[in-house]
């Protein structure tokens, strides 16, 4: 599974421009899906299972977009000004590198600050492509790039840009491969534009009209050095996290209990997650049409929205085991 | 794209169109109270439409049927509402406290002439006179609490809940047009012309929307109702192309006057469908119509809610650039308006379902 993860995290797919990563995911799942489709917003939707008397429609979503940057201006000297796609922070940008979808690379730096102890604003940042003027610049206004950082395998811990949420996509791909039999119609949604407001999942959920919705996404962890009062229960390596609440959703109690029962049946470690900020595609599923019971299986992750997001490989594999168990049997909420 | 040889009649901006824009600009239609503009729109489109209705929120929904078994359903949206003020508390003697509706800058307000309510009752926004304040008082920025609307003792004509707009009469000055609410009466005027010149091969679904300035509330239900295959949103965007004196180069101009229609790639509400962005650019280049890419960044149009409706609607926005939108007087170039009309009319004329072939 590590090679799958590496392949997914090293493919670019900034929000709204998921064509390349969608092709990679499609190639991975094509042999295992009963049907495949791509909708108006670019969501890749794979159907597995015909459903039966004991079956329901389950939507499983992991987003394939990642945070990135978009060119707003190539100035007269050839420096590129940019805006952000999704929750990029200025302090993770400075001296970082970006790669455009056309292959052009550059480095981000900042104008000299009056007070160098302060964090720069995005208006003070620019991308240097190594040009000496703006004639024949290889990028133009509206072009998009992602942060550039190779995959790092530390053994149990894996580090990369875009673990958010390629790790969720990897969990779904692996789950789809391992399912032998299901009473359900399972809609695996590799969703787009999550980082800019759950936009892909919103339209996918409307189209699928599921009976149950589950997203697989990253969540923060509280196991790193800190002197602030901000506390979070979740740690890396203590099993996948079952979301109770985040900034945009109260998970359906019945879905939470269903996941707990599944983990205990298999004897898998798990953690309960309460995330103060941020939300996932599960919110969009919960609120579609007349409402859907929804929850989220989270992969504990350090340094989310930085170019070096860290996950624990055991948590990832256990998430796959749990998910396969959950969707292979009739669901009684 | 191939340039077809069929004859295309582009809507031209002449005296009639300018007079219509003048009426639209001088009309008052603050979000939630769009009746005055809606009346003009209904008058203009009724003789040219196959179906016209006003929905529950006040959107004007116009259909022009296309030929063929299942013509491409193309939603065109332009919002009728404008930013403005609402009277909130009657202080007595014709003086009112008020709130802003939509993005109005408080610094634009002091001492401005305004129109209140459906009868355009004239008033003024009052501030404590400079010479009566102490010197510190005038160093801090003016807030809404410092300001009152004063219409004088005109009992019965004005009441709490009435909307107010800046009292600016539309004029033409040289190559430019000046008026209030050109955001988005330009879009409304453009869409009226497009209804009158609808090409035969598409199902044209024109939505003149309400409440765009307060989160696109009208467009949300309009898009659900039309259930279109794709959407083009006609709006207005700021041109901040003035010289900037403290740095070498203005790199945050958003759009520029005189550079043609502004095509959107991304704003805070929408990542526009690359197939439609490409189609508009190719249309402009094939027909020699000037265009510009609006700088990606903040702001938004009705596309933000339209593209997420139902199973998703491929969308693109096109705006006429204008300086000083949301203020008492905006300035736009007549040529930018004409080129915007040219671009959208040409794009519609050659539009086929092929534009959505392939994945976004």
Structure tokens at A271: 């953690």
Contact call for A206 and B311, based on CB within 8 A: yes
Residues on chain A touching B244 (C-beta within 8 angstroms): none
A234-275 pLDDT, tens digit per residue, is 999 999 999 999 999 999 999 999 999 999 999 999 999 999
Q: Is the pLDDT of residue B129 over 80?
A: no
A197 in the same domain as A274: yes
A179 in the same domain as A268: yes
Largest CA distance in chain A: 69
Q: Is residue B134 part of a domain?
A: yes
CB atoms within 10 A of CB A47: 17
Contact call for A73 and B293, based on CB within 8 A: no
B298-324 pLDDT, tens digit per residue, is 999 999 999 999 999 999 999 999 999
Geometric angle at alpha carbon B349, from B345 and B352, rounded to 5°: 130
Dist. CA B240–CA B256, nearest whole Å = 7
- Catalytic residue numbers of A read 194
DSSP B257: T
Instruction: Give me the residue from A72, A73, A203 closest to B312, CB to CB.
Output: A203
B158 in the same domain as B57: no
Q: Is the pLDDT of residue A67 over 60?
A: yes
Q: Is residue B174 part of a domain?
A: no
Q: Is the pLDDT of residue A117 over 70?
A: yes
Q: Is residue B2 part of a domain?
A: no
B96 in the same domain as B220: no
What is the pLDDT, as a whole number, of residue A230? 79
B49 in the same domain as B26: yes
Flag whether residue B315 sits within 8 Å of chain A, measured between CB atoms.
no
What number is the average pLDDT over the span B283-293?
98
Q: Is the pLDDT of residue B171 over 70?
A: yes
Contact call for B308 and A199, based on CB within 8 A: yes
Dist. CA A229–CA A9, nearest whole Å = 32
What is the pLDDT, as a whole number, of residue B4? 53
A208 in the same domain as A113: no
The torsion defined by the Cα of B309, B311, B316 and B320, in degrees rounded to 10, comes to: -10
What is the pLDDT, as a whole number, of residue B142? 87
Beta strand pairing status for A144-147 and A125-128?
Answer: unpaired
A131-153 pLDDT, tens digit per residue, is 999 999 999 999 999 999 999 99
A170 in the same domain as A140: no
B226 in the same domain as B334: yes
A307 in the same domain as A172: yes
Dist. CA B72–CA B313, nearest whole Å = 12
Q: Which residues pair with A312 in a beta bridge?
A: A157
> Among candidates B193, B222, B220, which has minimal Cα distance to B348?
B193
DSSP B277: H
A114 in the same domain as A218: no
B194 in the same domain as B153: no
A166 in the same domain as A265: yes
- The answer for B 122-141 residues in CB contact with A (under 8 A) is none
- Can you give the CATH number for the domain in which B126 is found? 2.40.30.40
B270 in the same domain as B283: yes
- Can you give the CATH number for the domain in which B287 is found? 3.40.630.10
> Among candidates B15, B322, B357, B349, which has minimal Cα distance to B185?
B322
Known catalytic residue at B137: no
> Among candidates B119, B111, B116, which has minimal Cα distance to B96?
B116
Q: Is residue A75 part of a domain?
A: yes
Q: Which residue among the candidates B44, B82, B212, B213 is catalytic per the annotation?
A: B212
Ramachandran category for residue A155: left, alpha or beta (phi over 0 → left; psi -120 to 50 → alpha): left
Question: Can you give the residue range of the structural domain that contains B230?
Answer: 15-82+180-356
Rg for chain A, CA atoms, rounded: 20
What stretches of chain A show up as alpha helix (H) in DSSP? 2-9, 19-29, 90-93, 163-178, 199-208, 253-266, 281-286, 313-327
- What ipTM was estimated for this complex? 0.93
In a mutational test of the A interface, the residue from B229, B247, B297, B360 whose CB has the highest number of chain A CBs within 10 Å is B360
Dist. CA B209–CA B81, nearest whole Å = 8
Whole-number percent of chain B with pLDDT over 90: 88
Burial of B115 (0-12, 13-18, 19+ CB in 10 A): buried
- Can you give the CATH number for the domain in which A86 is found? 2.40.30.40
What is the pLDDT, as a whole number, of residue B1? 47
> Among candidates A177, A184, A246, A249, which has minimal Cα distance to A210?
A184
Q: In the A/B pair of chains, how many CB contacts fall below 8 A?
A: 76
A117 in the same domain as A15: no
Q: Which helix (H) or strand (E) holds B338?
A: helix B334-349
Q: Is residue A191 part of a domain?
A: yes
Beta strand pairing status for A57-63 and A212-219?
Answer: parallel
Whole-number percent of chain A with pLDDT over 70: 100
Tell me the pLDDT of chain A averaged across its residues. 97
Q: Are A16 and A84 in contact (CB under 8 A)?
A: no
B76 in the same domain as B89: no
B214 in the same domain as B106: no
Residues on chain A touching B227 (C-beta within 8 angstroms): none
Q: Is the pLDDT of residue A64 over 60?
A: yes
Buried b (16+ CB within 10 A) or exposed e, B262-292: bbbbbbebbbbbbbbbebbeebbeebebebb
Q: Are A59 and A205 in contact (CB under 8 A)?
A: yes
What number is the average pLDDT over the span A202-229?
95
Predicted TM-score of the model (pTM): 0.94
What is the pLDDT, as a whole number, of residue B254? 95
For A77, nearest residue in chain B (alpha carbons): B249
Dist. CA A296–CA A304, nearest whole Å = 17
What is the pLDDT, as a whole number, of residue B243? 74
B227-252 pLDDT, tens digit per residue, is 999 999 999 999 999 876 666 788 88
Residues on chain A touching B247 (C-beta within 8 angstroms): none
Q: How many domains does chain B have?
A: 2
A5 Cβ contact partners less than 8 Å away, ≥ 6 residues apart: A151, A158, A160, A166, A167, A170, A316
What number is the average pLDDT over the span A45-65?
97
Sign, CA dihedral B197-B348-A200-A173, equals: positive
Flag whether residue B265 sits within 8 Å of chain A, measured between CB atoms.
yes
B90 in the same domain as B65: no
Half-sphere exposure of A192 (CA within 13 A, CB side): 31
Contact call for B314 and A40, based on CB within 8 A: yes
For B358, nearest residue in chain A (alpha carbons): A38
Dist. CA B56–CA B219, nearest whole Å = 12
In a mutational test of the B interface, the residue from A41, A45, A85, A201 whose CB has the highest number of chain B CBs within 10 Å is A41
Q: How many domains does chain A have?
A: 2
Question: Can you give the residue range of the structural domain that contains A200?
Answer: 2-66+161-327
Half-sphere exposure of B292 (CA within 13 A, CB side): 23
Flag whether residue B247 sits within 8 Å of chain A, measured between CB atoms.
no
Burial of B67 (0-12, 13-18, 19+ CB in 10 A): exposed
> Among candidates B104, B1, B11, B72, which has minimal Cα distance to B226?
B72
* Secondary structure E strands in B134-229: 148-150, 163-166, 171-173, 176-179, 202-209
Tell me the pLDDT of chain B averaged across its residues. 94
């Amino acid at each position: 599974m590590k090679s799958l993860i590496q392949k997914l995290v090293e493919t670019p797919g900034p929000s709204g421009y998921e064509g390349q990563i969608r092709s990679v995911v499609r190639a991975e799942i094509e042999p295992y899906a009963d049907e495949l489709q791509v909708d108006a917003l670019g969501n890749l939707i794979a159907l597995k299972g015909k459903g039966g008397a004991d079956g329901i429609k389950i939507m499983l979503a992991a987003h394939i977009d990642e945070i990135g940057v978009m060119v707003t201006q190539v100035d007269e000297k050839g420096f590129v000004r940019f805006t952000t796609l999704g929750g990029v922070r200025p302090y993770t940008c400075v001296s970082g590198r970006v790669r455009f979808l056309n292959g052009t690379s550059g480095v981000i730096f900042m104008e000299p600050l009056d007070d160098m102890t302060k964090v720069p604003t995005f208006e003070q940042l620019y991308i240097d492509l190594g040009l000496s003027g703006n004639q024949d610049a290889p990028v133009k206004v509206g072009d998009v790039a992602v942060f550039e950082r190779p995959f790092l395998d530390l053994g149990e811990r894996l580090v990369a840009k875009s673990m958010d949420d390629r790790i969720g996509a990897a969990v779904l791909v692996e789950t789809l491969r391992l399912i032998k039999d299901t009473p359900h119609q399972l809609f695996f949604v590799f969703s787009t534009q999550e980082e800019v407001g759950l936009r892909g999942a919103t339209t996918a959920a409307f189209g699928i009209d599921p009976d149950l919705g589950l997203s697989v996404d990253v969540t923060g962890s509280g196991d790193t050095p800190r002197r602030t009062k901000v506390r979070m229960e979740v740690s890396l390596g203590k099993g996948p996290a079952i979301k109770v609440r985040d900034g945009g959703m109260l998970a359906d109690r019945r879905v939470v209990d269903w996941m707990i029962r599944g983990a205990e049946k298999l004897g898998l470690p798990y953690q309960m997650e309460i995330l103060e900020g941020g939300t996932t595609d599960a919110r969009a599923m919960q609120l579609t049409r007349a409402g859907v019971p929804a929850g989220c299986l989270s992969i504990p992750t350090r340094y989310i929205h930085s170019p070096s997001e860290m996950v624990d490989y055991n948590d990832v594999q256990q998430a796959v085991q749990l998910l396969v168990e959950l969707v292979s049997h009739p669901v009684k909420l | 794209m191939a340039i077809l040889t069929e004859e295309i009649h582009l809507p031209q901006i002449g005296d009639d169109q300018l007079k219509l824009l003048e009426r639209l600009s001088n009309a008052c239609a603050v979000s939630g109270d769009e009746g005055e503009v809606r009346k003009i729109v209904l008058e203009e489109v009724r003789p040219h439409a196959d179906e016209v209705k006003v929905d529950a929120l006040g959107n004007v929904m116009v259909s022009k049927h296309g030929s063929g078994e299942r013509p491409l359903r193309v939603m065109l949206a332009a919002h009728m509402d404008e930013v403005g003020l609402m009277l909130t508390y009657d202080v007595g003697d014709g003086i009112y406290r008020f709130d802003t509706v939509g993005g109005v800058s408080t610094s634009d307000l002091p001492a401005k002439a305004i129109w209140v309510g459906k009868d355009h009752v004239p008033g003024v926004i009052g501030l404590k006179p400079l010479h009566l304040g102490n010197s510190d008082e005038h160093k801090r920025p003016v807030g809404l609490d410092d300001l009152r609307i004063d219409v004088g003792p005109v009992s019965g004509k004005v009441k709490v809940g009435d909307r107010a707009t800046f009292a600016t009469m539309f004029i033409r000055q040289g190559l430019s047009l000046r008026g209030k609410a050109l955001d988005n009466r330009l879009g409304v005027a453009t869409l009226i012309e497009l209804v009158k010149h609808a090409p035969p091969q598409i199902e044209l679904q024109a939505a003149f929307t309400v409440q765009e300035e307060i989160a696109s509330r009208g467009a949300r239900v309009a898009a659900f109702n039309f259930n279109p295959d794709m959407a083009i949103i006609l709006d207005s965007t700021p041109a901040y192309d003035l010289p900037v004196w403290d740095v070498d180069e203005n790199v945050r101009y958003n759009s520029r006057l005189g550079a043609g229609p502004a095509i959107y790639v991304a704003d805070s509400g929408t990542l526009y469908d690359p197939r439609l962005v490409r189609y508009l650019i190719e249309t402009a280049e094939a027909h020699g119509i000037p265009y510009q890419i609006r700088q990606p960044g903040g702001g938004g149009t009705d596309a933000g809610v339209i593209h997420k409706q139902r199973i998703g609607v491929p969308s693109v926005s096109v705006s006429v650039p204008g300086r000083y939108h949301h203020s008492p007087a905006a300035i736009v170039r007549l040529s930018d308006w004409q080129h915007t009309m040219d671009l959208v009319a040409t794009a519609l004329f050659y539009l086929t379902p092929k534009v959505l072939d392939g994945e976004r």
